[in-house]
A and B are shown apart, each in its own frame.
Chain A
Amino acid sequence: GAGVSQSPSNKVTEKGKDVELRCDPISGHTALYWYRQSLGQGLEFLIYFQGNSAPDKSGLPSDRFSAERTGGSVSTLTIQRTQQEDSAVYLCASSLGITGKGAYEQYFGPGTRLTVT
C-alpha cells in the first residue's frame, strides 16, 4: 500500500515569506508526527497529533511554527515569516496509534527540503 507522502519535495523561499508543508499519512494511521532534520541539530521532534488533536507541541521552535490536522488524515505544517535558520528537511511520520499493538513503529515520509534564501 501507499506509504507516507509529503509535498512539496523541495521548497525554496525568500526570507520573510510563509510556507506550508503537507503530509499524507498511511491510511488508517491515527498518530502523525513532524520532525526536523538540520545539519547542526540532527533530527528533532516538532509536534505530534492523535487524531486531530495535538497533545504535545513542545518541540515547535517558535510561535512562527504551527500545525494542523483535519479529518484525522492530512496535516499541514506552516512556517510564518521564514528565517534562514528554518532551512532543513522536514519529515513526517505516522503510526497506527499511540498505544496498543502496532502503535510503536513510525513510518516516515521522504521529507520536504526547505531552503530559505
Chain B
Amino acid sequence: KQEVTQIPAALSVPEGENLVLNCSFTDSAIYNLQWFRQDPGKGLTSLLLIQSSQREQTSGRLNASLDKSSGRSTLYIAASQPGDSATYLCAVDLRGGTSYGKLTFGQGTILTVHP
C-alpha cells in the first residue's frame, strides 16, 4: 500500500525566506506526483505536476523535484510571501489496472509566512 509522508507538518517563516517542503512515498512505481495548495475552507489548487520520467518542474517562484528511486520529492518556494500561507499537499498517482488517477495524499504541510 502506497504511503505518502510530508515533513514538516507545519512551518512558520518570515517573509522573503526561501523554503523547502518535503514529501516521501513508499512505492516508487508512481506515474506522476502533484503538489497542491489548499487555502482554508477551499478546494485544492494544482501547483506543479511531475511525470515519473521527469526530474523537476518550475512555475514562477516554485520548483518541484522528483527522485523516484529514493521515493522523494521536494517543493522549493523562493522569496516567500504572506500570500503563500496555506496548506501544501503532495499526492502520487500510481495508475495501472483500475487505479487510474487515484491520488494518494500526504497529510500536508501548513505554511505560515509572516510579514
Does A pair with B? Answer: yes
Name A's B-contacting residues (CB within 8 A): 4, 31, 33, 35, 42-45, 48, 50, 55-56, 58-59, 91, 93, 95, 98-99, 103-111
Q: Please tell me which stretch of B18-26, B61-69, B74-82, B103-111 contacts chain A, meaning at least 4 of its Cβ atoms lie within 8 angstroms of it.
A: B103-111
For A105, give its contact among B31, B41, B49, B105 (CB under 8 Å).
Answer: B49
Q: Are B42 and A98 in contact (CB under 8 A)?
A: no
For B102, give its contact among A56, A105, A110 (CB under 8 Å).
Answer: A56
Main secondary structure of the interface of A (DSSP, over half): strand
Closest Cβ of chain A to B41, distance in Å, is: 8
Q: Are A48 and B101 in contact (CB under 8 A)?
A: yes
Q: Are A98 and B44 in contact (CB under 8 A)?
A: no
Proximity bits, B16-47, A CB within 8 Å = 1, else 0 = 00000000000000011010100001111110
**Distance between Cα atoms of A56 and B99 in the complex (Å):** 7
**Distance between Cα atoms of A105 and B35 in the complex (Å):** 11
Which A residues are CB-close (under 8 A) to B108? 42-43
Q: Are A42 and B106 in contact (CB under 8 A)?
A: yes
Q: Are B43 and A4 in contact (CB under 8 A)?
A: yes
Closest Cβ of chain B to A63, distance in Å, is: 19
**Distance between Cα atoms of A48 and B103 in the complex (Å):** 11
Which B residues are CB-close (under 8 A) to A56? 98-100, 102
Which B residues are CB-close (under 8 A) to A93? 44
Q: Are A110 and B43 in contact (CB under 8 A)?
A: yes
Closest Cβ of chain B to A51, distance in Å, is: 12
Q: List 8 A-B contacts (CB under 8 A).
A: A43-B108, A45-B103, A56-B99, A99-B100, A104-B34, A108-B36, A108-B46, A111-B43
